[in-house]
Amino acid sequence: MPTSPDPAVLYPDVAARGGLAAALQAEAEGCLSRVPVAASISGSLLHATVASILPHRAPLEVSAWSHERRWSIRGEEPFQGMPLIDGRTDDLAEVAQAARAWHDGTALNEIRQAAPFVHLTGRFEVPDNNPARLTASEWQGLRKKAAELEYVWQEAYQNLIEAAHAEPALRALYPFTSHWALRFSTTTRPNLTVVGPCLSAHSDGTYGVGRGIITHDLGEFATAQEAVAVAVRQLPLLGPPQLGR
């Protein structure tokens, strides 16, 4: 089994500065020179975080790849731990620019303008953790992810997500996936309260509905709309989503 190269070999410039945190602060004409950048105790060459002035943004995570010279970022909202932005690049100056924008509270779409490698997950910021808004944000993220997939069954999966979102009874629930099966909760993350059946899309363009992740005991259907209709009939009477504290 091949081993990863020594980080100091992949990142000699980072090693020369004493770690990723210091290297970030020196990039992009020192745009992070006065911004708190925390080094990782376990891997100062490979990991660092950049805090934000906004309380509803967790520190941006910056990670260096261990097998080739490249960096990844992940910017989460702290209540659920779900990413708002991510991305990867081989240009550390771009990482510094994205980190500065994240720190300064720059709007998500403007962070991408400042650093084009940044990928918007589709989720939007909900500073007050309103459960209805968190639910809408998660649906938006799920729909964007489905549209960006490159698997052979991408079209069927996207059809399923869109059909479920079009149904008001399901759109009102918090969506999540497990083993690519679409599921629903009456509470948001971090503590989900699962309700209703699972919906799944198959590579042959059919759709399954089941009480469990890998079962289709409630039927298999030719269209996503048929599968969604069966799922709706299985739902109990429910109120609006609540925070999953």
Tokens 């080739």 locate to 68
Q: Look-up: residue for tokens 């690519």?
A: 180
Query: First and final CA of the chain: distance in angstroms?
Result: 43
In-domain check, residue 1: no
Determine what percent of the chain is predicted with pLDDT higher than 90: 85
* Cis bond before residue 197 (omega within 30° of 0): no
User: What tens digit of pLDDT does each residue of 129-146 get?
Assistant: 999 999 999 999 999 999
Same domain? For 149 and 102 the reply is: no
Show the tokens assigned to 12.
């000699």
Query: Same structural domain for residues 144 and 96?
Result: no
Three-state DSSP at 244 gives strand
pLDDT of residue 50: 98
Percentage above 70 pLDDT, the chain: 99
Residue 126 located in a structural domain: no
**Whole-number pLDDT of residue 142:** 98
**0.85 exceeded by the pTM?**
yes
Burial per residue of 3-18, b for 16 or more beta-carbon CB atoms within 10 angstroms, e otherwise: eeeebeebbeebbebe
pLDDT digits (tens, 9 = 90+) for 203-232: 899 999 999 877 889 999 999 999 999 999
Residue that finishes a domain, picked among 99, 120, 141: 120
Checking if the pLDDT of 185 tops 80, the result is yes
Q: Residue 242's pLDDT band (boundaries 50, 70, 90)?
A: confident
Quote the number of domains for the chain: 2
Are 155 and 188 contained in the same domain?
yes
The predicted structure's pLDDT at residue 34: 92
Is 60 inside any structural domain?
Answer: yes
**Whether residue 142 is found in the same domain as residue 219:** yes
Residue 2: its pLDDT value, please?
62
Both tokens assigned to 158: 């996207």
Element (H, E) at 186: none
Whether the pLDDT of residue 42 is over 90: the answer is no
Question: Are 96 and 156 within one domain?
Answer: no
Contact by Cβ (8 Å): 224, 201:
yes
The whole-angstrom separation of Cα 75 and Cα 111 is 11
Structure tokens at 59: 């520190």
For residue 18, the enclosing domain spans 7-120
CA 113/CA 18 separation, integer angstroms? 30
pLDDT at 56 over 80: yes
Residues 182, 236 within the same domain: yes
Q: Write the pLDDT tens digit of every residue in 3-26.
A: 778 889 999 999 999 999 999 999
Are residues 93 and 11 part of one domain?
yes
166 and 111 within one domain? no
Where does the pLDDT of residue 38 fall: very low under 50, low under 70, confident under 90, or very high at 90 and above? very high
Residue 141 domain flag: yes
Average pLDDT of the chain?
94
What are 97-121's pLDDT values in tens digits? 999 999 999 999 999 999 999 999 9
Query: Looking at residue 1, what is its pLDDT?
Result: 52
Question: Has residue 74 been placed in a domain?
Answer: yes
Among residues 59, 87, 83, the alpha carbon closest in space to that of 73 is found at 87
